[in-house]
Amino acid sequence: MDLIARLRDALPAEAILTDPDVTGAYAHDMASFCEAGTPAVVVLPRTVEQVQRVMRTATALRVPVVPQGARTGLSGAANASDGCIVLSLVKMDRIIEINPVDRIAVVEPGVVNAALSRAVNEHGLYYPPDPSSWEECSIGGNIGTASGGLCCVKYGVTAEYVLGLDVVLADGRLLTTGRRTAKGVAGYDLTRLFVGSEGSLGIVVRAVLALKPEPPQQLALAAEFPSTAAACDAVCEIMARGHAPSLLELMDRTSIRAVNAMAQMGLPDSTEALLLAAFDTPEPAADLAAVGALCEAAGATEVVPAETPAESDLLLQARRLTLTALERVKSATMIDDVCVPRSQLAAMLDGTAAIAEKYDLTIGVCAHAGDGNTHPTVCFDANDPDESRRARESFDEIMALGLELGGTITGEHGVGVLKKEWLARELGPVGLEMHRGIKAVFDPLGLLNPGKVF
């Protein structure tokens, strides 16, 4: 085949995978209800120059290219299309530089989030974005989907830490965007344009990331509530009073019971919502006391503050186990990430509960409550066609509810295949036209991750 022959001329033999039993493993990410095609070849480059050669070959032969990171995504953005080149960047995993003076790290896209975090911790520094899959997900994937995490309420999302990028364009040219400096406003902000673009505009091959000084260890509290409305009232009060928690997470009754069933954590069956708050301030105990008082005023039946980091880890264990516990409820899950204004959080949770009842499904919700980012998780039997249909319809209703409440269809997981029809509704016709115009400038042949985003 001309494609394979050209790639073999341009790349080391070990960088090219053609065995269907092997390439099939690269066909999709972790999303449900997202079709995936059969790739013609999987390429695992180790250098920028090798990525450029792949893109020049793809352009010459008009072959689509699907960039991939660790394939931990939840929207189908990394799914292969028939006959494509899957460009897996996991072998480009070098931390090139950590600079404590400039407080930056320069990394390749295949660096795992947790590996970067540990490396910069050795210098007394901190890379805040921490998706739940941080032990597996790659920085390139985080940039592609503009990932968030538990710490977003205080420290923000990936986009706020990407200072500059090296990007291989569709035709193989290398574009450098952004800066290494603490600030800079020269030209359009092309760096932000690539963050969240899901590999549809170019291939990120190097990133300059901002770092922060490592904060003190956080202390946490857990507050039990008799209703989601009371828990959400507490969230609103905490934020309105100017507190800056490093973590503010919420679990609904379904999530609590799933965790109890799996881990026997002993949370009372009467608990309708569990709110977890943490502070990494110089005086975290005082902050926890103030937030605990607000929780009690909002109707919390019990507030349990930790006195040590070890106790905090125990309190936060329930939140960390939520997805695993919900995955045990049924054979499949669909995880949404609708984000709404904090003031609409209670309406989002109550509306999701009503949708679960309407479709006779188990839908557990955990949320980054501090920034209104909810994660409704639809549990269903993938082998039951009717239940699978109801699961997809409930998923769509949840997204519609989020938009009705002034929110967005995705806070951190991206659009991919799963939500591209909904993206058009959120953007509107003028916004969609502008997006397509930008895509045409960077990828006029439509070779980069076709069929994704819009």
**Residue-wise pLDDT tens digits, 209-245:** 999 999 999 999 999 999 999 999 999 999 999 999 9
Domain-wise residue ranges, the chain: 2-88, 95-213, 219-404
Alpha carbons 150 and 319: distance in angstroms, whole number: 10
pLDDT of the residue at 309: 92
pLDDT of the residue at 173: 98
For the domain made up of 2-88, the CATH class stated in words is alpha beta
CB burial of residue 349 (10 Å; 0-12, 13-18, 19+)? buried
pLDDT of the residue at 1: 62
For the domain made up of 95-213, the CATH class stated in words is alpha beta
The fold adopted by the segment(s) 219-404 is Vanillyl-alcohol Oxidase; Chain A, domain 3 (3.40.462)
CB 374 within 8 A of CB 365: yes
What's the whole-model pTM score? 0.94
Angle (deg, nearest 10), helices 253-263 and 309-327: 100
What whole-number percentage of the chain has pLDDT above 70? 100
DSSP 8-state symbol, 305: E
74 CA to centre of own chain: 8
Which stretches of the chain score pLDDT less than 50? none
Give the tokens for residue 269: 């069956």
- Coil, strand or helix at 375: strand
**Residue-wise pLDDT tens digits, 257-266:** 999 999 888 8
| Pick from 106, 103, 104: nearest CA to 92 | 106
pLDDT of the residue at 143: 98
pLDDT of the residue at 247: 96
Whether 2-88 and 219-404 share one fold: the answer is no
